[in-house]
Structure 1
Amino acid sequence: MADKEETGTVKVSADQPQTMKHSARSIAMGAAFLMAMAAVGPGFLTQTATFTGQMGANFGFAILVCIIVDIIVQMNIWRIIVVSGKRAQVIANEVLPGLGYLLSFLVALGGLFFNIGNIGGAGLGLNVLFGISPENGAVIAAAVAIGIFVVKNALTVMDRTVQLLAIVKIGILIYIISVMAVPYQSAIQHTFVPTQLSFYAIVTIVGGTVGGYISFAGGHRLLEGGLKGKENIKYVNEGALTGIGIASAIRVMLFLAGLSVVVLGDKLDPTNPAASIFRYAAGNFGYRFFGLLLLAAGMTSTLGSTFTSTSFLDYAVSSKGQSKYNQYRKWIIIGFIVVSTAIFYFIGSPAQVLVVVGTLNGFILPIALAILLLASTKEKIIGDYHHPRLLIYTGWLVVIFMAYASINTLIGLF
């Protein structure tokens, strides 16, 4: 990444100037939007629409489980990363030598495959809006993403771009909801009392929302901005809960829009279920809106996936090592985006990949969370910080549940 605007460590206490508090809060909000918009990518749209079409109102229960898991996972991971002041892969190596390299491999590989779908989604969005071929659209989107990462003050530019595109996504979904007859009563009833349960749906949407690289996007962004130490827990909490709230609100709106179509007896197109929702809602005009949403989703997830996945290749633990890594980081980022784009350009068909990789990220989640929970008990990693017992206990419950659900899903595939 090019020259960074934010360096050093931001330490905030009650007696410090408001400008310092504003800086910390700005970094936290940047992390919140990066995490949320990394989650709300083309895979998010495809998964939500696919399962809404298959399960109807019962999919609301899977979303509820997903939100609860999101809160537990993000609050655990963000806190442990920021308190330790170390990236997740460095923490993992301190838990057990070599474990960090395994975690990096799993996260970076999942991020790469997700990025194929992200770049492809942005290309498809440009195709819908301007008639450009999806392949050429993907090349344009990749060029824009690379431009954002290599400019001066790249972190700030990335944050502002992600926040602007988040507003676009939310605005489009609010409009679509407003023109549809949403069955709120059925949605609420089946969310809390489902008549159908799918572990595959739960594993996939949890994996697509908080699995793989997405779990670490916010925590690593906080470190990059200089937020370290237990004195910044307040901003960790604000950032994590804000990010989860944004991602959850967008998923609920898309679910309600899809449900509005399903209850009328219409079938969503399995090749592009999310586009079907917008076409049913507002005809060709709605389809154009979908193109804009897909473009925004593809771009924000490309930025989030690229930033987080490449951050897992950084094992520097000293300023000298960090400086050496930063010399090559720009080229690693460019390479990551170029490889993702080339695979899409020559292979294409990202929709199926997005659902499958979401499931893969769901498998990675219990492994990654277990590593961080083990780290939360080691004084050499977190110092004199005492991680809340409630987060530890609920975190291990998520590890057990997601491991069980992942195994159950794997068995069901054969």
Structure 2
Amino acid sequence: MQTNTQVTSTYPSQTNWQNKAILSVAFLMATTSVGPGFLTQTAVFTNIYHIDMAFPVFASMFITFGIVMNLWRIVGVSGLRIQDIANKVAPGMGYFIGILLALGAVAFNFGNVSGSALGMNVLTGLDTTWGAIFTGIIGSLIFIVHNASKRMDQMARYLGLLMIVLIAYVALTNLPPLTPTVLAAVAPSDFSNLLLPTLTIVGGAVGGYYTGAQRLIDVNLQGIENTKIVTKAAWAGISIAVIIRVLLFCAVLGIITTGVTLDPANPAADAFRHGAGDIGYFIFGLVLFVASITSVVGNSYMAISLIKTLFPVVARNEKAWCVGFIIFTTLGTVLMNMPILLLMLAGLVNSVILPIVLATMLAATRQKKIVGDYKHPLYLTAIGVTIVIIMGLASLSNISSFITKFIS
């Protein structure tokens, strides 16, 4: 009788733990993937392609599903981090992928810190140099405080919800014409011109997908027995990211369809200002700050998690390395002043790296020493292989297009 009571009382707590873990991972992924890079990229490309940008936003939903479902299930089942899986697939591959992604995270964090500083400037008038320094202090404190992982998860959940509400307000007050937008999502006027924006916004969000995958291990969502829970977490993360993505696109497009040409120096801020006046500009500052500070923390965690199992000194001093990463990228942001270009470039670079990472993860499903008796669904493998081939070929061909549009 006593045993039955114990089982009954433990069950709700186990379910509660799982739900919290799912929400933590999902919101961390979503808020890290929809950082200032994604805000900037969406605004820049919508300003260029107008209603046709509906197609890249629509296509990115399916690509997100294919990446996250494959990546998270493989990481979850194996109980290994991305770089450790890669090392088992081919010795040394984990070092190559881990260091490459960590270096990409440096470029993104320059943009994240810049975004946070710009958000503070809008909200308070604080000079962006001091805003960047203040961002570095906030991000560092989150890792220094007791139980940093819990604070990071809480921040992602609460600030993520706030970001959805704020973007929804601007989007719903400036909705674009829905029928033409839906038609453009499936039948744009020119598919060939839309490869670059599609790849860049996927690349701009992919850091969040890696962050979520790495976080699965830390919250103990791993093993074949937890495959359903990992899948549930993946669906939650995808859904939150898609909601924010669609609302943001609608907010920007709704302004452009009124005939406004956005200021190329800061197109996202200009969209919010035109959409809701001074209130909209204040909301933009808040959205940018929220998106940036969550991305600064999530991106720093992801960068260090990608190398900590490769270098024991990093694993022994993980918090210190996270703080060091934030300080380094904060100083880099203060010394460099190219946030828009860096954010756009980081998106393109990540879209080139992604096929290598995903191909390695798919190869891992064929090795029992990594996944045991787990059978990866054939449809997910097919989707993953398709993404690898298309993004691999298209990313390389789009480097020249990027240079023409944004550098030359």
The change in CA–CA distance for 1:201 and 1:157 in structure 2 (over 3 A counts) is same
What's the offset of the Cα at 1:179? 2.0
1:105 aligns with 2:94: no
What residue identity is the alignment partner of 1:207? G
Deviations 1:293-340 (A, max 9, x none): 1100111111110111110112269xxx6xx75431111111100111
1:9-59 superposed Cα distances (whole Å, 9 cap, x missing partner): xxxx99972211221221121111111101111111100111111111111
Structure 2 unmatched runs, 5+: 1-6
Q: CA deviation at 1:245?
A: 1.1
Distance 1:221 1:290 in 2: 29
1:38 equivalent in structure 2? 32
Taking structure 1 as reference, are residues 142 and 16 closer, same or farther at Cα in structure 2, changes over 3 Å only? same
The question of whether the paired residues in 2 share the 8 Å contact of 1:199 and 1:408 is answered with no
Where does residue 367 of structure 2 map in the other structure?
378
Give the paired residue count.
Answer: 395
- Contact 1:82–1:222 at 8 Å: present in 2 too? yes
Is residue 176–residue 257 contact of structure 2 (8 Å, CA) maintained in 1?
no
Task: For 1:25 and 1:284, locate their aligned partners in 2 and report how far apart those are by CA, in whole Å.
Answer: 39
1:403 positional shift = 0.7
User: C-alpha offsets along residues 330-375 of structure 1, whole Å, 9 cap, x if unaligned?
Assistant: 1111110011100111112211110111111111110000000001
Following superposition, the deviation at residue 181 of structure 1 comes to 4.3
Tell me whether 1:369 sits opposite 2:358 in the alignment: yes
Quick check: 1:41–1:301 contact (8 Å CA) kept in 2? yes
1:55 to 8, 31, 49: 49
Counterpart residue number, 1:91: 85
CA contact (8 A) 2:54 2:182 kept: yes
Tell me if the contact between 1:119 and 1:142 (Cα under 8 Å) persists in the aligned partners. yes
1:399 counterpart (374, 388, 404): 388
* Paired residue type of 2:381: I
Contact 1:84–1:228 (Cα < 8 Å) also in 2: yes
Matches of 2:268 and 2:391, distance apart in 1: 26
Correspondent of 2:197 among 194, 201, 224:
201
C-alpha distance in structure 2 between counterparts of 1:311 and 1:176, whole Å: 36
Cα distance 1:26–1:271, how it changes in 2: closer, same or farther (>3 A)?
A: same
Q: For 2:333, which of 332, 338, 344 is the aligned residue?
A: 344
Name the structure where helix makes up a greater proportion of residues: 2
Shift of 1:219: 1.4
Whole-Å Cα distance in 2 between the matches of residues 386 and 144 of structure 1? 43
Q: Does 1:269 align with 2:263?
A: yes
> How does 1:1-400 map onto structure 2 within 5 Å?
17-197=11-191, 198-210=194-206, 213-315=207-309, 325-400=314-389
Residues 121-155 of structure 1 show CA distances to partners (whole Å, capped at 9, x for unaligned) of 01111111101111111111111111111211111
Q: TM-score if structure 1 supplies the norm length?
A: 0.92
Q: Distance in 1 between matches of 2:95 and 2:342?
A: 24
Q: What is the Cα deviation at residue 178 of structure 1? A: 2.6
The residue that corresponds to 2:3 in the other structure is: none
Query: Which residue type is aligned with residue 307 of structure 1?
Result: Y
**Residue segments in structure 1 that go unaligned for 5+ positions in a row:** 1-12
% identical equivalent positions: 37
Q: Conserved in 2, the CA contact under 8 Å of 1:183 and 1:259?
A: no
Aligned partners of 1:216 and 1:308 also within 8 Å? yes
Following superposition, the deviation at residue 214 of structure 1 comes to 2.7
Contact 1:187 1:256 in 2 (8 A): no
CA distance in 2, matches of 1:79, 1:165: 26
Distance, in Å, in 2 between the alignment partners of 1:399 and 1:316 is 25
